Structure 1
Amino acid sequence: MHTQKSFAKQSFGTLYLVPTPIGNLEDMTFRAVSTLQTVNLIASEDTRNTQKLLNHFEIKVPQRSLHEHNYKERIPELIELLKQGKTIAQVSDAGMPSISDPGYELVQACILEQIAVVSLPGATAGMTALIASGLSPQPFYFYGFLQRKKSQQKKELEELKYQTATLIFYESPHRVKETLKTIQEIMGEREVVVCRELTKLYEEYIRGTVQEVYDHLLEHPLKGECCLLVAGSTETAEKPLIEGSLKEQVEQLIREGKSSKEAIKDVAKRNQLKKQDVYKSYHEL
């Protein structure tokens, strides 16, 4: 168990997780600008991209790259600087660090070393899209990017098929039509919303059934980054039948990972019996 207290390891620096705009520079918070101005170093997913942001706000703090291809080598360097008392801000290209972007591994490393981690609130595409989508905002299930290979994507969607929460995906504009067809194949006809260019000049929400949105995109190809939201399932997964005596049914569920108590309760429900009756049969009383 790890706890983070403000007075722990006073000699160490602090890692600040700083969200950046997902399109509109005016969404940068005062606190985010102030933090980037005062830290010793900025760890950026793409230093060239972040430099444009820094130039806009006249921030002169040096950068060091931190991305999926170099994090294993870079994290020990950043941890050493934090141990020396340096403060570091970590940013991704857009939105919140760690959300489908680098950052998670650095946070883990800081926690292990008892280095304070401070997260700043700010722009994030998934939540921005959700609250204007018209789909139920609670509960929601943020998934991020699906796998690119269709076979892997199908497997992921099969696992999400009976999820009752609104599903939030990030998707490339070049793949969204194909993804919609796969969703239709696996999940059936659902209400979906495609959001593109959030916070930018050409922001757009395309709402309808999977087929309606797909047909629209055939005539109006997407440009720019997009979110894909899918209404949650109204169906429930049918529990597979278990054959055999009550004792055998309980034993099968235990082999699948349930405790004996859970298995007895489940078998009783499936067979519309009292738990005591199943308990007696299982223990041969």
Structure 2
Amino acid sequence: MQPLHKRLPSNTNGRDFIVGDMHGCYDLFEVELEKVSFDPACDRVISVGDLIDRGPNSLACLRLLKQPWFHAVLGNHEIMLLNYAYPALRSCPLLQNDDLFLKNGGNWVERLDDIGQTELHYQLLPLVAALPFVISVGEGSDRYHVVHSELLTGDPELNTRFFAQQSIHEKPVPDRILTDADLDSCPEDVLGTMHDAMVWGRRVFKAAKPGQAQAVDSPAGRLLVSRKPWHPGLSLTYAGHTPAYQLRLHASHLFLDRGAFKRDANSCLQLLCHQHIHPWLTGL
């Protein structure tokens, strides 16, 4: 069984690039890699998930999981694909209907020929099923995380006991933001109860209200910075899931889904170099 929390060492030989929700836009991804002169021998790409659906080439995006330089976390569209392909995995009423996947851009699966179907089911789906909920990279001040939507606690009935043990002086709040220490000490079974927040949640994103945020020019473009850009104890956390016209920073979460599949003047596939953006962000 693959870990739900994957850990990677710091990249001391090259650069780490974080890519937003690709949604089948493999052509846009190739363009972005060319712009930064990506070197697969020393550079890495870490995806916030949602590799598939809506765009023109979901299968090519999934093939990236075969590359040693490419890493990804599980997105809600990967969850829908797995539940569509493996009905026995369906654990909630929302995922019982195949239409949920097909109507959210998953109809590309039905258009695959026999060769594509074989590749998907025997080569690619096992790689998708092995994706973690969160990836943590490095240690200390250089540490960062990647998650699809947000790092929040999950079902209070299932994980309150664990978090209550972490502090005898503070009553745990069911939907509180996780910290580095939480991630380091959280058992896999408890982490599994938080998948709804990590894959589907939008509470942290919505808390960064544009009307109460400051728009600044960053090395990666226009950035909305909330009144509380950093959460105590949580390293920089890259997230996607909710498309927006600007990057957004709130509670240590940097949201970079720019709605690539829309392919209009206000959207793009965001590719950030961690080594460039992180030092700049720490100065905020």
TM superposition score normalised by structure 2:
0.25
Quick one: higher RCO (CA 8 Å, sep 6+), 1 or 2?
2
TM superposition score normalised by structure 1:
0.25
- Rg (Cα) greater in structure: 1
